[in-house]
Structure 1
């Protein structure tokens, strides 16, 4: 066997486990690119949709689940972040798709059901014909036990769909988790086939040079990457992000230190400046008539902000789920002027285009947490400029520059990934289902006399 043939033999493609459906049979309220993605995912049966914030993952996953119910019957479960269930049910009403919110297995009905990830243990996985993971990257925020429980419990579920924002292309663990959940290939198999482990100081996995093309072809056989429908050849207006204004405020007014600090030193600096940073944030909110989303990192920050900010509602980890959900939905409905919480609590899933002002009183070292938090408001569908205020002390260093550098690196990597996969993705979307012309006879057929 030639070496080239050997490499090609490693180019595994995802099998199709679903069914064909004509485009005109899908929900007419979907855009063309959304219909094509739904058709593709239905044909695959088990697929991932990596679509940026505001591209309509919710209506796409609802239509996917709805068509499976029409085709197969049975029960379908959507797992979603906290408070997203009600938001999804509202979206279902808009698209005329019934969605049943469940607390446990006894609440489940035929058709589409939805619950929170936290309630997974109250459901029997083998009673569902389909499973949808909404904001599936949230699995990284859970313990390995919960992630493994989802993968194992739904291993034999016939239809699977995972939906999340476009991941960073070097986050191979996240991509491997998705592959394993869908039953395409285990994370260990993916790493051994396409990657080598850098045993040096970085200690990271990197793509084998000769396997790069095969890897992205394999990825595109079971997942769709889309940051903007226009990049895949769809001519659709309205998919432009508004201007993002990032403002860094040094609360104590002193020159920013250029000294590199350890994680412990930065956290100590945040604790020392807690009162002054919270007061600056409170002054910004209290002197404005607009709504604000205030993100914090420490429990003491959350408590202090709630005390200082007029008409604010605090959502903390120890709160009951009902309070968390009610507060988030009230903020969506403009019933709350200011919501104070952490990215780990409300940074996934919620659509808050009604708000354009965010304050970060404390930042963790996770760029993903920061990115997910700003995308709650800075997303397709937002028609106003979005203002971000990062409030720090002088001892914390150049936080804004570090965030912007990480953002530039992430955007560069995502653009490279989209460039690598857009041709393959376009081809996949176009060839997934048969293109047929409906037979409409207009001339009556006459049987020849010699046959009669």
Structure 2
């Protein structure tokens, strides 16, 4: 073996384990680029779709799931956030798929089945030939019980599809969890192969300088990273979103300091616990400001809060507001979310952790964050419920904070820059590889534009 052959043998390769389905046999409602991605994902057998909000992941995952059902003649399970199951069933009907919403294994039928992450313990993974994770960013926390349950439960499932708008915006480690779920490589192996501890801080990892291109080449073998069809050389027409207006409203908190004593001057919170305390001290002022903002527009409003006390007060202050709390029954949550979707509810008050993932609310273009948590992903996903493909109006995002919460806004903006940088890096490194993988090699044809009329000789005509 030559040294070049030795190096070649050490490269990580993802072996395709799927099957091919002709594009002409796929759902007629799919765009050509969506068919190409579905074809690629089916051929891979185990793949991830990191596509931005509004690019039609639901249609692609339904086509993938139906194709696996037809090929294996066994059922497929889609796992989704609360209330997304009913929305997916409705989308399935629109595009010609039959989707069964299930709460336990006894509800499972032949074909496509869907349940919520909260109900996953009531199912037997061995009964399914394929699994789809909708909003798979649930895997981001490598220490979470849900992440471990999902990976272990579907370890032997032959066909897997992972779908999310973006992996974690400020941490590459989620990619390791995604790869481990798909059976491509364990998170530990990924870290050992491509990453190194960042100095003396052993909890921080960074890409090895010489391994950066190799790492992204490896990711491109099992994941599509897409912010627009134009990233892969398709037409991006129709995917330019309308304007997004972000308006910040600052309120003065009450006269008590963070330690409960009266004070003349507002102290800016620095630590996480201080920010939480500052948020509580300004609760009344922020809720009253939010209620006044809602009065400025008679259309639908999404009011995002972070505390139960905020939710209760907002419901009291805003006429006709409907509240969704974590303690509500799954059925009550689903009914209220459906009511906001169909327009029968004008103002919805809830938390991003409850309704910030997977739902399509292009009919609404006004929202308020009554304070900010430190989770950038929550805010990003919450905004994308309305700011997505199909939105025709300018989306107005109001952020109500107190003057004592200065560090929160800076933290969110820092994470936004990190997300943008990471996404751009992922697209830059993977788009050329994915163009070849997904679109294949095409032949350039130079159009012939004749300038002189051709005359056929008489003897040739004869």
If the length of structure 2 is used for normalisation, what is the TM-score? 0.89
What is residue 315 of structure 1 aligned with on the other side? Answer: 324
* Residue 177 of structure 2 is aligned to residue 177 of structure 1: yes
Provide the rounded CA distance (Å) in 2 between the counterparts of 1:384 and 1:210: 45
Provide the rounded CA distance (Å) in 1 between the counterparts of 2:273 and 2:232: 45
What is residue 435 of structure 2 aligned with on the other side? Answer: 426
Structure 2 unaligned blocks of 5 or more: 255-264, 442-462
What is residue 280 of structure 1 aligned with on the other side? Answer: 289
SS at structure 1 position matched to 2:140: helix
Residue 311 and residue 260 in structure 1: after superposition, are their counterparts in 2 closer, same or farther (change >3 A)? closer
Deviations 1:261-283 (A, max 9, x none): 11111111111110011011011
Aligned-residue RMSD, C-alpha: 2.2
Residue 169 and residue 218 in structure 1: after superposition, are their counterparts in 2 closer, same or farther (change >3 A)? farther
Judge conservation of contact 1:257–1:396 (CA < 8 Å) in 2. no
What is residue 189 of structure 2 aligned with on the other side? Answer: 189
Larger displacement relative to structure 2 (203-212 or 81-90): 203-212
What is residue 211 of structure 2 aligned with on the other side? Answer: 211
Judge conservation of contact 1:11–1:215 (CA < 8 Å) in 2. no
Q: How does 1:155-174 map to 2 (within 5 A)?
A: 155-168=155-168, 171-174=171-174
Residue 399 and residue 144 in structure 1: after superposition, are their counterparts in 2 closer, same or farther (change >3 A)? closer
What is residue 401 of structure 2 aligned with on the other side? Answer: 392
What is the number of residues matched between the two proteins? 433
Residue 141 and residue 99 in structure 1: after superposition, are their counterparts in 2 closer, same or farther (change >3 A)? farther
What is residue 147 of structure 1 aligned with on the other side? Answer: 147
| Aligned-pair CA distance for 1:7 | 4.8
* Residue 306 of structure 2 is aligned to residue 302 of structure 1: no
| Aligned-pair CA distance for 1:87 | 0.5
Provide the rounded CA distance (Å) in 2 between the counterparts of 1:318 and 1:97: 33
Deviations 1:380-425 (A, max 9, x none): 2211111111101111116445433432332122112211110011
Judge conservation of contact 1:194–1:215 (CA < 8 Å) in 2. yes
Provide the rounded CA distance (Å) in 1 between the counterparts of 2:341 and 2:142: 25
| Aligned-pair CA distance for 1:251 | 1.9
What is residue 134 of structure 1 aligned with on the other side? Answer: 134
Residue 141 and residue 216 in structure 1: after superposition, are their counterparts in 2 closer, same or farther (change >3 A)? closer
SS at structure 2 position matched to 1:397: helix
What is residue 65 of structure 2 aligned with on the other side? Answer: 65
Residue 244 and residue 278 in structure 1: after superposition, are their counterparts in 2 closer, same or farther (change >3 A)? same
Judge conservation of contact 1:169–1:417 (CA < 8 Å) in 2. no
Residue 356 and residue 380 in structure 1: after superposition, are their counterparts in 2 closer, same or farther (change >3 A)? same
What is residue 371 of structure 2 aligned with on the other side? Answer: 362
Provide the rounded CA distance (Å) in 1 between the counterparts of 2:143 and 2:365: 32
Provide the rounded CA distance (Å) in 1 between the counterparts of 2:391 and 2:306: 26
Larger displacement relative to structure 2 (137-146 or 55-64): 137-146
Residue 257 and residue 409 in structure 1: after superposition, are their counterparts in 2 closer, same or farther (change >3 A)? farther
Larger displacement relative to structure 2 (396-405 or 238-247): 396-405
Deviations 1:193-236 (A, max 9, x none): 11111243584111111111111111111111111001211014
* Residue 292 of structure 2 is aligned to residue 269 of structure 1: no
Provide the rounded CA distance (Å) in 1 between the counterparts of 2:28 and 2:41: 17
Deviations 1:292-343 (A, max 9, x none): 1111111111111111111111111111111111111111111111111111
Provide the rounded CA distance (Å) in 1 between the counterparts of 2:183 and 2:159: 10
Q: How does 1:84-99 map to 2 (within 5 A)?
A: 84-99=84-99
| Aligned-pair CA distance for 1:165 | 0.8
Larger displacement relative to structure 2 (88-97 or 168-177): 168-177
Provide the rounded CA distance (Å) in 2 between the counterparts of 1:249 and 1:85: 35
SS at structure 2 position matched to 1:376: coil
What is residue 417 of structure 1 aligned with on the other side? Answer: 426
Larger displacement relative to structure 2 (398-407 or 128-137): 398-407
Larger displacement relative to structure 2 (306-315 or 142-151): 142-151
Deviations 1:129-185 (A, max 9, x none): 110000000233797222111111111111110000122575222111111111111
Give the alignment partner of residue 350 of structure 1, picking from 352, 359, 374.
359
Larger displacement relative to structure 2 (108-117 or 262-271): 262-271
Provide the rounded CA distance (Å) in 2 between the counterparts of 1:247 and 1:197: 40
Structure 1 unaligned blocks of 5 or more: 433-452
What is residue 438 of structure 1 aligned with on the other side? Answer: none
Give the alignment partner of residue 389 of structure 2, picking from 370, 380, 386.
380
If the length of structure 1 is used for normalisation, what is the TM-score? 0.91
